[in-house]
Amino acid sequence: FDDEVWRKKYVTDYEEEQYNTNDTMGRFGIAILSKYPIVQIRTHQYQRYKRKTIRNAIACLVSLPNNELLWVVNTHLGCHFIGKEQHEQAKQLVGFVDSLGGKPKTTCGVMLCGDFNSPPILPSIRIIRQSGMRDVWHQSFANRKGLLQIGGTFPSNARVLGMPSCFRKLIRLDYIFLLEKSGKEIVCKCVHVQDGSYNCSLASDHLPVHAVFFVGSSR
């Protein structure tokens, strides 16, 4: 992921001043890495909320070993305290996911993931769920067995934020959603918050979510 190439290729409608607003420490962005071939890429830039940082989403159509095609969407929503920015972006995100094409017989569905900066109670998450996408945290085999975990991902290190350690992983802000578009079921075998090393909390103020999936047989 070369953010200079990314900027030149995808951020075409904004001048440098707009691109770097609220970004005094350098450039940042989102990316999708895949061990399987990426056959198509689409991007969406959210309408700017007031004068806050411009946010976007990227979608990659991935060719799986079983000749199925899966859209993988990654996004990073805004960080408005009461969720107004995230609410507006979530409505655009649902439209973007709906616009992803592909023949139903070969495109098995959409996997949506990212930092939504939204606890589960906010309208932004409700909009995504109401669109038909299912939250894999609640659908995983582990949680079906009755393991009650909130899936907290923030903060990864409470002390960095000047908070007691008991506030670590207090809030769930990062999600993986699935939307099936064909007769084949996309199954989440397991999902958990990755928290096994010092690097997890060093790399970000959020902890990563790790999940394993497989495409099931036709229903």
The pLDDT tens digits of the residues spanning 104-131 come to 557 889 999 998 988 888 999 999 999 9
Cα gap 128→74, rounded to integer Å: 14
- Is this prediction's pTM over 0.85? no
161 contacts 125 by C-beta, under 8 angstroms: no
Q: State mean pLDDT over 162-173.
A: 68
Q: State mean pLDDT over 64-92.
A: 90
The pLDDT tens digits of the residues spanning 20-31 come to 444 444 456 788
The pLDDT tens digits of the residues spanning 63-75 come to 998 888 999 999 9
Query: DSSP letters of 108-177?
Result: EEEEEEEE----TTSHHHHHHHHTT-EEHHHHSHHHHTT-------B-S-GGGGT--GGGTT-B--EEEE
Burial class (CB in 10 A: 0-12, 13-18, 19+), 26: exposed
pLDDT band for position 183 (cuts 50, 70, 90): confident
Is pLDDT of 13 > 50? no
Q: How many CB atoms lie within 10 A of CB 86?
A: 25
Strand partners, 177: 112, 135
